[in-house]
Amino acid sequence: MSLPSDSGMPAAAPPPADISAELSHGGRFIRYNIFGNVFEVTSLYKPPIMPIGKGAYGIVCSALNSENGEQVAIKKIANAFDNKIDAKRTLREIKLLRHMDHENVVAIRDIIPPPVRETFNDVYIAYELMDTDLHQIIRSNQALSEEHCQYFLYQLLRGLKLYTRRMSFTEI
């Protein structure tokens, strides 16, 4: 499975020409303009950064971890602390996924620290980058065989079994 996304932007899409990057906070962070929103991550994650999805809970971009060479998906949860429900949802997602090791659940690679701890309101989480997600597969023109459907259903049911452990569907 893959990181939840409400739009099917392929991971291999070329970066939009209007993405600009500038160093911030003494070069410790890089600030991007993605979909008209500020996307600010530590300089550990090197450009180019590419948007791969935009959903109900934030924007997702791919980036390269310069320390280990791994491509990751970084989700920005904007205004994560504006209300109690969103704050709890964000904390629950981090707590559950930090300790989860299951092939049907996306893994957290990093929680990106804020540039200013006293005033931050956005949370950035780096996940393993998946090749695709179920949304892209369903919307593709490729014909799905019965075996494909059985395989997807099997994976969904394995992930759904984790739901009985009080996980939310956005984490599967």
pLDDT at position 166 is: 55
pLDDT at 96: 84
CA 106, CA 5: separation in Å to the nearest integer? Answer: 13
Give binding residues as ranges.
76
3-class SS at 167? coil
- Residues of each annotated binding site for ATP: 76
Question: Are residues 92 and 102 in contact, defined by beta-carbon separation less than 8 angstroms?
Answer: no
DSSP-based three-state secondary structure for 104: coil
- CATH class for the region spanning 21-171: alpha beta
Compute mean pLDDT per 10 residues along the chain, 172 residues long, and list them.
40 55 91 88 90 84 95 94 92 87 86 92 94 84 92 87 62 46
pLDDT at 165: 66
d(CA 18, CA 48): 12
Residue pair 100/107 in contact by the 8 Å Cβ criterion? yes
Domain ranges of the chain: 21-171
Of the candidates 138, 157, 88, 98, which has an alpha carbon nearest to the alpha carbon of residue 172?
A: 157
